[in-house]
Structure 1
Amino acid sequence: MAYIVMGDHFIDSEEVLKKIKENTQFKMVKDLTKGSKREDTLIFQIIQDVKQLKLELDLEGQAIDVNEEELIEELMSLADETAYMVEDFIPEDAICYVYSYHYDEGSEEIKTIVVAADEVIGGLRLRDVAERILRSVD
């Protein structure tokens, strides 16, 4: 269990994790908050199913011809968009940084990191925190 401070709120990362799992269709969600040793930041790793993302893209229905590189780029972008759902489960005065960083063709998964903190931390600082976390994540 990890408690973090966001503005006037104490947030239990496990409660947020539970809400995310109950209200989304992500393949897997991991709470990385405690491991970060930060007292002001929620951190989650989201694993999304590529097959599901492909259904959402509906490329066949649009009759668009894309190469493999463009498809992966589209899937990563959609994974980012989808991961922003996490904002629904954190305080309104928080900001999020979402970044899909790994496409695993073999297991057909995309890994995304979601970092959330109080808006006073600022977008640039939040991005810096996220980049440091990305260097330490599998």
Structure 2
Amino acid sequence: MSYVVVGDKIIDSEEILKDIVREFEFKEVKDLSKGSKREDTLIYKIVQEEDDLKEQLVLQEMEENLTTEEFIEELMALADENIVFIEDVIPEGFICYGYSYHYDEGLKEVKSIFVAIDENVGEKKLKEVVNRVLTSVD
């Protein structure tokens, strides 16, 4: 459990995690906020199953015409689109960024991160935090 301060509000990262799990059908959602050692940042690792992503793709007929690389690009893009909707459960006062960073062919899943930071900190710091998180996640 981690508490995050945004403006004059204190946000419990576990409550946001519960909201994400309740609202979305991801394979796994993990709260990484405490590990950031920042009092103004929410960080979640999201895992989406390839099969769920494939169902959402409108590529069934085209799938055989796609190279493996193109197919993976489509999966990653769709995973990015899915995690953007997490913003809907993030309280006001945050700026957010989501990014899908890894496709695991063996596990047939896409891993993504979602970072929300106090809007007063700014976009530049958000990008720095995202880059730091990306170097530390598996």
Could you say whether these structures have the same fold, taking a TM-score greater than 0.5 normalized by the shorter chain as the test? yes
Tell whether 2:132 aligns with 1:129. no
User: What secondary structure, in the 3-state scheme, does the structure 1 residue paired with 2:133 have?
Assistant: helix
The residue that corresponds to 2:105 in the other structure is: 105
CA distance in 1 between counterparts of 2:130 and 2:72 reads: 22
Task: List 4+ stretches of structure 1 deviating above 3 A.
Answer: 61-64
Q: Which structure 2 residues correspond to residues 1-138 of structure 1 after superposition, within 5 A?
A: 1-61=1-61, 65-138=65-138
TM superposition shift of 1:45: 0.1
5+ residue gaps, structure 2, are none
Q: Deviations over 1:12-42 (max 9, x none)?
A: 0000000111111000000000111111000
Deviation at 1:65, TM superposition (A): 2.2
Q: TM-score, with normalisation over the residues of structure 2? A: 0.94
More helix by share: 1
Secondary structure, in 3 states, of the residue corresponding to 2:65? coil
TM-score by length of 1: 0.94
Counterpart residue type for residue 110 of structure 1:
V
Kindly tell me the number of residue pairs found equivalent between the two proteins.
138
Same amino acid, percent of matched pairs: 56
Q: Which amino acid aligns with 2:25?
A: Q
C-alpha RMSD of the superposition:
1.4
